[in-house]
Amino acid sequence: MIGACASGPVPDWESNAKTSIDHAVAAYLAGDTRLAASDFERARSEIARTGRIDLLGRAELVQCAARVASLVFEACAGFEKLRPDSAAPERAYADYLAARVQPQEIALLPPQHRAAAAANLSAEAATALLRGIDDPLSKLVAIGVLFQAGRASPTTIALAVETASAQGWRRPLLGWLNVQLALAEKAGDAGETARLRRRIGVVQGDK
């Protein structure tokens, strides 16, 4: 994501930034907001050494993608400050994360998100495509975008729960389980509501 696309030894700023971003995302998904913020600030500092605003923008998008995967829908403020100096693919991805990508921008998205971004997909087709995304975080991001756009079916939501659970990602798992809980309560399904509350309690560490 932040590679400088140069041959030869990897500069220390690049390896340090990548490590910090990876740690920040892992901490965020695990539910440790404080550690995530600290690691991301370290990554931002390393990238700033290069003066590359475009790379800073890409790093901000990684952070915002983790939020979308966790159902935290808020403006990607860090990227928006850098939008004027960002390339078209980064601007398109930012729009995608906000569920407002335009048809002409879809070709600029990362390959794993292009098909899922098509607005004319049925719920069944979308779920099948999502199952084909190998990277679990990309899969959760895509489902988060669909949910934000009001296009996530119960089957798609179940896939998000399955994906977050398999990775042990507490924050997104709790978010998606609470979506399922709201659906069960709305449907008046007392048994499913009780089951989901028990599962949420386990994830939260309730005694």
Per-residue pLDDT tens digits for 36-75: 999 999 999 999 999 999 999 999 999 999 999 999 999 9
Structure tokens at 67: 């939020």
As a whole number of angstroms, the distance between CA 61 and CA 55 comes to 10
Asked if 123 contacts 116 with a C-beta cutoff of 8 angstroms, the reply is no
pLDDT at residue 74 in the model: 94
Closest CA to 175 of 207, 135, 148: 148
Domain ranges of the chain: 1-109, 115-202
pLDDT at residue 1 in the model: 55
pLDDT at residue 117 in the model: 87
Averaged pLDDT of the chain: 93
Instruction: Provide CB contacts within 8 A for 4, sequence distance 6+.
Output: 11, 14, 50, 52, 55
Mean pLDDT in residue range 177-195: 98
Q: Burial, 11: exposed, middle or buried (Cβ in 10 Å; 0-12, 13-18, 19+)? A: middle
**Whether the predicted pLDDT of 179 surpasses 70:** yes
CB atoms inside a 10 Å sphere around CB 89: 14
pTM of full prediction above 0.85 = yes
